[in-house]
Amino acid sequence: MSLQKWTYLIVVLILGIVTLTYSGLPPGDQMERVRAFSRDLEFDYIAWTLDALGVKLEQLALQASDFLPAEARHKLVLDYLNLVDQINQAERLLNEIYANPEISDPEKAASAVRSVLDTLTARRSRLAPLAESVLQDQIGESVADLGLTLGGQPIPPVLYHSTPLPTALIVSPRDEIRQDANISLQSELSADERTALEDQIDSALDVSSLIVNIGGIGVYPTMVMQTSNLNFLAEVVAHEWVHNFLTLRPLGINYLTSPELRTMNETAASIAGNEIGALVIEQFYPELVPPPPATPSTSTPEEPSEPPAFDFNEEMRITRVTVDEMLAEGKIEEAEAYMEARRVFFWENGYLIRKINQAYFAFYGAYADQPGGEAGEDPVGAAVRELRAQSPSLADFLKSIAWMTSFGQLQEAVEAGNAES
């Protein structure tokens, strides 16, 4: 094995071990009070990371994907994603069989589907490590093309592993929107089990809690949800790699220091993940590039006006702003009743949200790469977007924001950029 490959392996091992320290829960009395309810259900990061590192080190040692021509690499990834889609369809069919009241013997009815599912799952286990290696390499090439390298290599190397993800238990005070806890739980919790745990915590601690699904986690290798959507997968893998990139710099190191720094981290990762993911698709899977948005024709007669489509982002922005105002006035119960009424409103318009509460906004409001939405009028996300707009390249943007340790520094950088223009 070459010296470069040995160096690569050592970097992977060191970063994998280091990120385990970031998987621990921050100290604090409130956190320990929450963990009194969640401890038996928490996700085992150490076991997962050690297993994922074993898979990745084996692939790095074999270098199997390096010997495949570009066409074979392209086909391998698409074949793997098609296999994931078949598994998802089989799992949905199993759920339908067990939910169908007209089927008297679901075990018997499901046996053939279960046999097919077992075969597909075994094939996925064999194919996944190689397909992940190919996509890692492709994302690494795109990252290098953007200038985000050290010595010609992305640091850290792009590594991810797709598995069922843990869920996240989010806890916020009731009188303001603020994330006080984010605890990873096992993925198998049903909707009624989630609700029961949330109710326990809320009643005992007088807080707002919510258990949410997530798309990825920035441990190392990064943990990414299983999906058959390559555009989404490329964005999520890139998003989590950006977290690894930031973890080696002040912004990522201070992720938990303040709500503003968390929003800066998540918004920067979302912006960069979207751009890197789009570049990967353009470079390696051009047939999957989304079509440009349609533009109205000026030569055709004007169509009769239709009612405007439901604008989720705008309606959620209105909800967040109203809740912030109510909580600032001390109207906690009124704000909670309003959020439930709005949840019903979203449900009636096709958005099946289980619960909207303070914890909901504390979690989703940090992902502010688009205006409005759950962030409301939070100025942090807007400042991150403005810094990206001022930056000549994505690399310049990330290299600038990565060294910031406060929202004030971000504001100063934006003001300086505005003055120059």
Chain segment 109-155, per-residue pLDDT in tens: 889 989 999 999 999 989 999 999 999 999 999 999 999 988 778 88
pLDDT of residue 172: 97
**CA–CA separation, 129 vs 12, rounded Å?**
16
| Average pLDDT of span 57-86 | 87
In this prediction, residues 4-26 reach a mean pLDDT of: 51
The amino acid at 325: E
**What integer pLDDT is reported at residue 76 of this predicted model?**
95
How far apart, in whole angstroms, are the C-alpha atoms of residue 249 and residue 156? 12
The gap from C-alpha 370 to its chain's centroid, in whole angstroms, comes to 15
Mean pLDDT of 60-73: 80
For all residues of the chain together, what is the average pLDDT? 88
- Mean pLDDT over residues 372-393, rounded? 95
Checking if the pLDDT of 12 tops 80, the result is no
Query: Does position 21 have pLDDT exceeding 50, yes or no?
Result: no
Mean pLDDT of 220-240: 94
Residues 247 and 221: beta-carbon distance below 8 Å: no
Bridge partners (DSSP) of residue 222 are 160
Q: How would residue 237 be classed by pLDDT, with cut points 50, 70 and 90?
A: very high
What's the average model confidence in pLDDT over 291-303? 63
Residue pLDDT, tens place only, 163-186 = 889 999 999 999 999 999 999 999
Residue 345 pLDDT exceeds 50: yes
- Rounded Cα distance between 419 and 250, Å, is 26
Q: Which two tokens stand for residue 176?
A: 């303001």
Reported pTM: 0.87
Task: Give the pLDDT band (50/70/90) at residue 23.
Answer: very low
Mean pLDDT computed over 63-73: 82
d(CA 389, CA 20): 34
Name the more confident of 19 and 148: 148
Q: Exposed, middle or buried: residue 53 (CB in 10 Å: 0-12, 13-18, 19+)?
A: buried
Is 200 buried (19+), middle (13-18) or exposed (0-12) by CB count in 10 A?
middle
